[in-house]
Amino acid sequence: MKLADRGSHDVRAALAATGLVLRIPPVRVRVRSPIAGFAARLADLYGEYELHDTRDYADIDIRMLPGARLRRWVRPTVQFVVDGVTPFEPFRLDHAMPMFEWGLNWVFAHRMHQFLLLHSAVVERDGRALLLPAWPGSGKSTLAASLACAGWRYLSDEFGVVAASGMVHPFARPAALKNESIAVIERMRPGGVGPVYPATRKGAVAHFRVPPASLARAADPAPIAAVVFPDFIAGAPLTVQPMTPAVAFLKLAHNAFNYEVVGERGFRAVAGIVRSAPCRIVRYGDLAAAHGAIADIVAGAA
């Protein structure tokens, strides 16, 4: 059963009681919240995700709770709670959904150490996965969402989930688009972007809905064919710069969430990626030009 198969009243009641268990491969996430607005937003973004029986084991247990009682009527807030721990300061109540997304990222990065977790978006086409690792503001989320709109399979916006086998696994969740990128992706896929949350801690934010075809294969890993470090600069001409394996290794390892934690496994995984996959920096000011360059890079890696 999918979340969308449950009625809105049923979803609100379940979240306020024992919760709902969402299947977001490679994890199951139990979500509980008495906040009606959050229930509606969760159903909107995760409607096509599979549900598990609430008696099933969940890897992660999250509660989205109203903030301190004295503030519930004046500047109400929401608190993210994971396994009884509150790792963040409260957000304003109408930003509950962005807080859930960022909080789930935080939990995944701190717990899923059976994988090497690269800070990277991931897409795939014709059985070949492309890593898009990048620093904040480089445009990786917009680029990954735009490639998904152009027919690539969307695996992740934030995590390159690399197993010991060298395969990259999906963690397909809504991508957080910011500011100008929201309208760009909405034009490419009308209705594919959720509500806009203005004035968050990262500016205006809206979430890109994972395409149904990508969700249908949300448990299917893929081999890594290429690594592209995107660098969006408004108005810039397209340039493609090769990277040596040594430089690519340092950049991938430095941007990994848990490279130091997984130790030798992380070293071997990153070394295997940069030895077998071409690594490039793609600077661009136009998405169509970037798409063409990326297609050529991945095709050349076949």
Please spell the DSSP secondary structure of 279-302, one letter per residue.
EEEEEES-HHHHHHHHHHHHHHT-
One-letter amino acid of 53: D
**pLDDT (tens place) for every residue of the chain, 302 residues total:** 999 999 999 999 999 999 999 999 999 999 999 999 999 999 999 999 999 998 889 999 999 999 876 555 668 999 999 999 999 999 999 999 999 999 999 999 999 999 999 999 999 999 999 999 987 778 899 999 999 999 999 999 999 999 999 999 999 999 999 999 999 999 999 999 999 999 888 899 999 999 999 999 999 999 999 999 999 999 999 999 999 999 999 999 998 999 999 999 999 999 999 999 999 999 999 999 999 999 999 988 75
* Alpha carbons 70 and 58: distance in angstroms, whole number: 33
Contact 30, 19 (CB under 8 A): yes
SS3 for 20?
strand
Residue 141: per-residue pLDDT: 93
Residue 300: per-residue pLDDT: 84
* Alpha carbons 163 and 24: distance in angstroms, whole number: 17
Residue 185 in tokens: 């992706």
Residue 216: per-residue pLDDT: 96
Residue 8: per-residue pLDDT: 92
Residue 37: per-residue pLDDT: 94
Residue 71: per-residue pLDDT: 56
SS3 for 148?
helix
Residue 188 in tokens: 């490419």
Please spell the DSSP secondary structure of 67-131, one letter per residue.
--GGGSSSS-EEEEEETTB--SPPEEGGGHHHHHHHHHHHHHHHH-TTSEEEEEEEEEETTEEEE
pTM (predicted TM-score): 0.94
* Alpha carbons 78 and 95: distance in angstroms, whole number: 8
Contact 33, 39 (CB under 8 A): yes
- Other CB atoms within a 10 A radius of the CB of residue 147 amount to 23
SS3 for 163?
coil
Instruction: Give percent helix, percent strand, percent coil of the chain, each to the nearest 5.
Output: 35, 30, 35
Bridge partners of 232, per DSSP, are 284
Give residues with Cβ within 8 angstroms of 137, minimum separation 6.
none
Residues in the chain: 302
Bridge partners of 282, per DSSP, are 230, 240
β-strand 20-24 against 27-32: which pairing, if any? antiparallel
Residue 136: per-residue pLDDT: 74
Residue 228 in tokens: 């592209």
Residue 73: per-residue pLDDT: 62
Give residues with Cβ within 8 angstroms of 214, minimum separation 6.
148, 153, 154, 155, 170, 172
* CA end-to-end span of the chain: 38
Distances (CA, A) of 117 to 92, 126, 213, 224, 269: 30, 23, 24, 14, 10
Residue 70: per-residue pLDDT: 52
Residue 233 in tokens: 């600069």
Residue 69: per-residue pLDDT: 61
Contact 168, 26 (CB under 8 A): no
List the domain boundaries for the chain: 3-111, 116-300
One-letter amino acid of 242: P
* Alpha carbons 266 and 281: distance in angstroms, whole number: 22
